[in-house]
Amino acid sequence: MSRPTIIGLTGNIATGKSAVMRLAAERGALTIDADRVVHELLDGDPAIQAAVAEAFGPEVRRADGRIDRAVLGGLVFGDAERLRQLEALLHPAVRAEIGRRVAAAGDRVVMIEAIKLLEGPLAAACDAIWVTACAPATQMARLRVCRGMDEAAALARVAAQAPQEEKIARANVVIRTDGLLRETEAQFDAAWRQI
């Protein structure tokens, strides 16, 4: 059986990863969003739900058993130790689910989007690392306008992530997303042709 080409996509919050994932999907790649996998586990895996509620308290659970991500986010963002605790609970299950999806991909290109791709073992499974990047002012504007965050919330989310420069230093491809979408697409296509 053929092995897929695996591209790991990372970049800090609001740097254009979703746009790059859409471009990859349009070109036939299997796209896997690690955040979406987390949401699926928090919404549908009773063992994960129980472990998170045990670690963070019953207030993180909704009446239907699912995890209230807003409540959980309020507890962990801005508290590095609690964020590490949550990641230790979730990341093994996320990696296992991503592994199942990659195994079923055949010889397709697979793009895995994960903000913390480089901080864990998932990067070693990737054939290339692509990073999205933009100016801090662009990032903050996107968080405030597109996601409705106030400045304090946006700053807390950015502070919870590794510096963008560290990700850029480890990238095989850097896609700058400060400009128009067609400029991002041109950079994407140039990199895609090299696969």
Number of neighbours of residue 111 by Cβ within 10 angstroms:
25
Task: Report the predicted TM-score, pTM, of the whole model to 2 decimal places.
Answer: 0.90
Helices (DSSP H) in the chain: which residue ranges?
A: 17-26, 34-44, 46-56, 69-76, 80-103, 136-145, 151-159, 164-169, 181-192
Structure tokens at 118: 């480089």
Q: Is 15 annotated as a binding residue?
A: yes
Q: Is 16 annotated as a binding residue?
A: yes
pLDDT tens-digit map of 59-72: 999 999 999 999 99
- Residue 28 annotated in ligand binding: no
Q: Is 18 annotated as a binding residue?
A: yes
What are the b/e assignments for 10-27, b being 16+ CB within 10 Å?
bbbbbbbbebbbebbeee
The pLDDT tens digits for 6-45 are 999 999 999 999 999 999 999 999 999 999 999 999 999 9
Domain coordinates in residue numbering, the chain:
5-192
Number of neighbouring beta carbons within 10 Å of residue 161: 17
Residue located via tokens 């591209």:
7
What CATH fold (topology level) applies to the domain 5-192?
A: Rossmann fold (3.40.50)
Strands 128-133 vs 173-176: parallel, antiparallel or unpaired? parallel
